Structure 1
Amino acid sequence: MSKYIDVLILLLIGILIGANIWTTFVVAPVIFSHFDKKTAGDIMNLIFPYYFASGWVVGVVIYTFIGIKSIKDKGIIRRYLGFIIALSILILSHMALHKTVLPMARTLNHQYYQLLQEEKKADAEKIHSKFKTLHTISSLVNLFNLAIEVYLFQYYFLRSRKERNS
């Protein structure tokens, strides 16, 4: 059963990597190149909650699989400590994007378009500047998450392979 759990963990991490790359480098650019900014933003606002939530939910599932493995193998936590710490950081950063950054961005975006409707261009630009800053932070955290996901995949793959060959 342990081999099946290893395969599932690697599959889940691979899905996270694929979803991150697909959403960041394919979906978002295509949507923003085919729609006006407001419509593209509205579409991405439909996608992002699921995308960000999937990161931390999958992370918790991987934790659960590690917990199941630890029933038979008490030393797994010590041997996979780097993996577990990185997984914790990944879960927290996805939660931060999902529960903090996304709602803040939505609020700023709503305020921006509201101010534009009220023809308060100067105030709208101040809000838009804040949104750009928040978007930059979000993008950097997202790229950081991708790096962690790649690290998790290689760490788990190499460690489980090394243990099987020992």
Structure 2
Amino acid sequence: MQVVTIIYRLAVSLWLGGAALFTFMLTPILFRSESRDSAGRIVGLLFPGYFRWGLACGVVALICRVILSGKGTLVAGIILAVMLALCSFQSFYIEPKAAALKKEIVSFETTPKDHPLRREFAKLHGVSAVCNLVVIAGGVVLVVLF
């Protein structure tokens, strides 16, 4: 069981670390150093892999948590299930819709913020950002408490 515990902790830590690195380091650096359109294109290319990483780490962590059973399993399992649900929602719903909208918006630099497509994209981006922060918060709780 010690190996399963190590794999569980590693999966959660890699998920949390990847999400934190992408959210708080990589994305801000790209948007500071590149044009809005260029940074958005790069981040858009990275998103599918980012979400697959989260899904893979989450599935491994959830399987390990089920195998481990015991103190905190139910709470940790619920947190992992919520994190996975949010990551799945981002991966299979938000990201494809946002990518399709980005193709319709010629340029984020020249298209007015009040343009209907930009407003729709902003809503999706807001929902995705909240999902991402909840996933990160869940990861922190799992690392600290379990």
Assess same fold via TM > 0.5: yes
Q: Over aligned residues, Cα RMSD in angstroms?
A: 2.3
> How much has 1:78 moved relative to structure 2?
7.4
Q: Is 2:90 the partner of 1:97?
A: yes
Q: Is 2:115 the partner of 1:125?
A: yes
> Which protein has greater RCO, CA pairs closer than 8 Å, 6+ apart?
2
Q: Is 2:78 the partner of 1:88?
A: no
Gaps of 5+ in 1: 70-75, 157-166
d(CA) in 1 for partners of 2:93, 2:70: 30
Contact 2:59/2:84, CA 8 A, preserved across alignment: yes
Deviation beyond 6 Å, 4+ runs, structure 1: none
> How much has 1:65 moved relative to structure 2?
2.1
What letter is aligned with 1:85? I
Contact 1:52/1:94, CA 8 A, preserved across alignment: yes
Q: Is 2:132 the partner of 1:142?
A: yes
Residues 33 and 95 (structure 1), Cα distance of their counterparts in 2 relative to 1, 3 Å cut: same
Contact 2:16/2:140, CA 8 A, preserved across alignment: yes
d(CA) in 2 for partners of 1:59, 1:49: 15
Percent identity reads: 24
d(CA) in 2 for partners of 1:105, 1:77: 40
What residue is the counterpart of 1:163 in the other structure? none
More helix by share: 1
> How much has 1:77 moved relative to structure 2?
5.9
> How much has 1:142 moved relative to structure 2?
0.5
Gaps of 5+ in 2: none
d(CA) in 1 for partners of 2:96, 2:42: 15
How many correspondences in the alignment? 145
